Amino acid sequence: MSTRKILLSEDEMPRQWYNILPDLPHGLQPPLHPATGKPVGPDDLAPIFPMPLIEQEVSTERYIDIPEPVLEKYLLWRPTPLIRARALEAFLQTPAKIYYKHEGVSPAGSHKPNTAVAQAYYNKISGTKRISTETGAGQWGSALSFAGALFGLEIKVYMVRISYDQKPYRRLMMNAWGANCVPSPSPDTKAGRTILEQDPDSPGSLGIAISEAIEDAVTNPGSKYSLGSVLNHVLLHQTIIGQEAQKQLQKIGEYPDIIIGCAGGGSNFAGLALPFVRDKMGGKKIDIIAVEPSSCPTMTKGPFVYDFGDTVQMTPLLPMHSLGHDFVPAPIHAGGLRYHGMAPIVSQLLLDKLIEARAVKQLETFAAGVTWARTEGFIPAPETNHALAVVIEEAKKCKEEGKAKTILVNWSGHGLVDMMAYNAYFEGKLSDYDLPDEEIQKALRALEKFPKPKL
């Protein structure tokens, strides 16, 4: 019988996170205080983050030890399996070998608990009683709700309204873990009330939800804010994915030619890719591809700028590829990929040509997800489908060229609570949407007065 799953024992699980910051060839430009234009310091971040996470955000240590209480919680689902997609290979009649890192086996059904558990732990030991956060499709909100239950923390989640309406089971998952989830924009914050006055039917955006969550954190004693993507410490925590994958591939004497992950803010893509980017900087020949929706083409059409991470301009200015903090995305069924900006680390890697970015259309992604479900069995999340669309594209290319390449993809989450999106696809209610260039230019006008990062 052919091997399908490559497993690690619990003793083989990585004990450290990998920090790419000291290895970046051109470093990372600092976040700036919007009032002074100067680099943000720890004191600026202290009102919203606990000090251990602030220290990790700026750390120059290549490896950071994973605390024992976090490792113990990880063992609920980690190490995750690396699986050979043999049925998909046979269906495509490709010489390519396709492996996927199955992050959908976590209690929350995605990669998000890798950082949610870590952030909940650091908040707990720092005296935090309550955490506010935002969520798009609900993967992050459910993950932090799960982590909050593990460490006895109160969680308030502001969920982008279009996803709140489209994905009721995600918010019910949050409720099951004891969190309070409200649609954003909401009447609970000044930011939300202001936006609702301007547009009572606003579908919301991650930028708006971030504004609400930050305002909530700074106005409620004992509260802190938590972010599920974009920031350095979040990507750091996710690198356990890539490190496990490296160990698993070593067990069978394989090494990837192509690495693929979907990217909204950058966390799951970076979690798989960063340990391999280190190898690429060391001389390995690898193609590393970040995949985003054509309706929210942050990397493929957005310029590298200093921009706010939220709509109401409460965050520092971050150096990143952005569509502008006022950007409100089309309500496609991939809420986790509708953020206006890309993680500074991922943006810098794109500038340095260590990774590439591709945008795919919505119908193509669902076709890929259905093909995957009918061959490999597992039903992918709409976000994951973006990566799978490019996996299929690359596998077909291998067939055309007669090249037996090894493809590694991060299967970042299951779609078992996203079946309404699949229903809309099956009923022909979904359509493709390419963001017009004029919309991008309109959104970027607000950035003209901001400092410019080095290119």
Amino acid 438: pLDDT: 87
Amino acid 101: pLDDT: 98
Amino acid 306: pLDDT: 95
On the question of pLDDT at 442 being above 80, the answer is yes
Amino acid 332: pLDDT: 63
**For residues 360-378, b (16+ Cβ closer than 10 Å) or e, as one string?**
bbbebbbbbbbbbbebbeb
Domains of the chain in sequence order: 5-10+78-109+238-447 (3.40.50.1100), 17-65+112-232 (3.40.50.1100)
For 228-245, the pLDDT digits (tens) are 999 999 999 999 999 999
Amino acid 255: pLDDT: 98
On the question of pLDDT at 152 being above 90, the answer is yes
On the question of pLDDT at 294 being above 80, the answer is yes
For 73-89, the pLDDT digits (tens) are 999 999 999 999 999 99
On the question of pLDDT at 167 being above 90, the answer is no
Average the pLDDT over 54-70 and give the result: 97
Average the pLDDT over 205-213 and give the result: 90
For 311-337, the pLDDT digits (tens) are 878 889 999 999 998 887 766 666 678
Average the pLDDT over 26-36 and give the result: 93
pLDDT grade for 439, boundaries at 50, 70 and 90: confident
From the centroid of its chain, how far is CA 421? 19
Amino acid 137: pLDDT: 82
For 381-395, the pLDDT digits (tens) are 999 999 999 999 999
Q: Report the predicted TM-score, pTM, of the whole model to 2 decimal places.
A: 0.96
For 346-355, the pLDDT digits (tens) are 999 999 999 9
- The three state secondary structure string of the chain is CCCCEECCCHHHCCCEEECCHHHCCCCCCCCECCCCCCECCHHHHCCCCCHHHHHHHHCCCCEEECCHHHHHHHCCCCCCCEEECHHHHHHHCCCCEEEEEEHHHCCCCECCHHHHHHHHHHHHHCCCCEEEEEECCCHHHHHHHHHHHHHCCEEEEEEEHHHHHHCHHHHHHHHHCCCEEEEECCCCCHHHHHHHHHCCCCCCCHHHHHHHHHHHHHHCCCEEECCCCCCHHHHHHHCHHHHHHHHHHHHCCCCCCEEEEECCCCHHHHHHHHHHHHHHHCCCCCEEEEEEECCCCCCCCCCEEEEECCCCCCCCEEEEEECCCCCCCCCCCCHHHCCCECCHHHHHHHHCCCCEEEEECHHHHHHHHHHHHHHHCCCECHHHHHHHHHHHHHHHHHHHHCCCCEEEEEECEECCCCHHHHHHHHCCCCCCCCCCHHHHHHHHHHHCCCCCCCC
Average pLDDT of the chain, as a whole number: 94
Average the pLDDT over 26-44 and give the result: 92
Amino acid 313: pLDDT: 86
Amino acid 444: pLDDT: 84
